[in-house]
Amino acid sequence: MSSASIEDIITKLAANNIDTIIPTIDNEGNISYPILEGQSIPVEMLEDAVKDNMLERHIYKKMLICPIHRKVLNLLTLHCPQCKSNDIKKINLIEHITCGFIGERDRFNNAGKLICPSCSTQITEKNSNMLGAWYICNLCSAKFNAPLILFQCDNHQLDIAMVDIKDIFYYTVTKGLIKNEYDVSEMFTTIYQILESKNISVVKMHSIKGRSGVVHTVPLYINDYRGNDIVIEYCIGDNDDTSISSNTFMQAIIKLMDLQAKHMILICIPKMIDELRYMAATNNIMVIEGNNKNVIIANLLDIVNSRMLQNRRG
Ligand SMILES: [Zn+2]
Ligand SMILES: [Zn+2]
Ligand SMILES: [Zn+2]
């Protein structure tokens, strides 16, 4: 799993109609994010994906953790506050107001009625107080209503003052599914704005004359006027989950080949036909596949950055 990129994982999740990554906590208190095939995805990777706007983070639970081992404390025990013994018993105390006797409820039970063991009067709501749940220590006989709570970590115990509270998150795939041409144009607007903000010279709906003399229009064109240009084209399948038809794909390839830009990027939504992969590769066309706007944008910016950087070095 460590070798798989977050893009791969999100694509895989999308293919399986999963859009939420929920944490699990094992008996030892370790938090993990299992996804498909029982594999876990490192939390650092999830956090990076949140920064890249591919995942959204939400609070799942606030949990108590050991500040040393960072494990969730899901085993707690109750102890006598006086001698710290764990050998304590929960009791219900009744006070007979009339005679002042206080004792365990068990001691009042008498043939289905509650009778005071001290003065033999029947207990009623008016002549008694139910003192609620108490605890009694079997070791030192102390009676108390607030037991000491101890949390068990690996090989040590912590009291409530020592534990930390940690937000445990779950993650959802950021909305951004491309369903139609409108979504595509929105995506290109976003890419355009990001590139412009980085002072990259970019043109929307740019017309260029190809070698054949035909004028083509591409949705995005980047040119740094140092002989380094990038043409960005896309093609889209007929509906959400079908590959792009070979016809549509071929048209895009032919158009890009006619343009002969230094770098050519073809965005395939959602994916190209496997048999045509070689077509893109042999014509030096970089392909981005997917149907999540944010994933495509992240991939595209990666390529643009690396190409522009290469050029700056050269
Ligand atoms: Zn610990
Ligand atoms: Zn005790
Ligand atoms: Zn009594």
Q: Which ligand is nearest to the CA of 118?
A: 3
**Is 37 in the same domain as 119?**
no
Residue 132 CA to ligand 3 center (angstroms) comes to: 18
116, 215, 239, 288 from 218: Cα distances, Å: 93, 10, 22, 16
**Is 306 in the same domain as 261?**
yes
Higher pLDDT, 28 or 95: 95
Q: Which ligand is nearest to the CA of 117?
A: 3
Give the model confidence (pLDDT) of 152-207 as tens digits: 998 899 999 999 999 999 998 877 778 788 889 999 999 999 899 888 899 999 99
Q: Which ligand is nearest to the CA of 148?
A: 2
What's the mean pLDDT in 245-274? 90
CB-based burial label for 128 (10 Å; 0-12, 13-18, 19+): buried
Q: Which ligand is nearest to the CA of 138?
A: 2
d(CA 214, CA 104): 97
**Is 15 in the same domain as 82?**
no
Residue 163 CA to ligand 1 center (angstroms) comes to: 9
Greatest mean pLDDT among 9-23, 91-105, 288-302: 91-105
**Is 249 in the same domain as 264?**
yes
**Is 169 in the same domain as 243?**
no
**Is 137 in the same domain as 219?**
no
Instruction: For residue 274, tell me if it sits in a domain.
Output: yes
CB 170 within 8 Å of CB 47:
no
Residue 65 CA to ligand 1 center (angstroms) comes to: 8
**Is 167 in the same domain as 280?**
no
Q: Which ligand is nearest to the CA of 123?
A: 3
Instruction: For residue 223, tell me if it sits in a domain.
Output: yes
CB 52 within 8 Å of CB 298:
yes
Domain that includes residue 296, residue range? 181-313
**Is 307 in the same domain as 197?**
yes
Please tell me the total count of domains within the chain: 3
Greatest mean pLDDT among 2-16, 113-127, 296-310: 113-127
**Is 29 in the same domain as 101?**
no
Residue 161 CA to ligand 1 center (angstroms) comes to: 14
**Is 197 in the same domain as 167?**
no
Q: How confident is the model at residue 310 (pLDDT cuts 50, 70, 90)?
A: low
Instruction: For residue 244, tell me if it sits in a domain.
Output: yes
pLDDT computed for residue 7 by the predictor: 72
Q: Which ligand is nearest to the CA of 30?
A: 1
Instruction: For residue 156, tell me if it sits in a domain.
Output: no
Instruction: For residue 40, tell me if it sits in a domain.
Output: yes
Average pLDDT over the chain reads: 87
Q: How confident is the model at residue 314 (pLDDT cuts 50, 70, 90)?
A: very low
Residue 140 CA to ligand 1 center (angstroms) comes to: 29
Higher pLDDT, 312 or 101: 101
Instruction: For residue 122, tell me if it sits in a domain.
Output: yes
**Is 188 in the same domain as 260?**
yes
d(CA 122, CA 107): 13
pLDDT computed for residue 2 by the predictor: 46
Answer positive or negative: Cα dihedral of 112, 131, 103, 80. positive
Q: Which ligand is nearest to the CA of 96?
A: 3
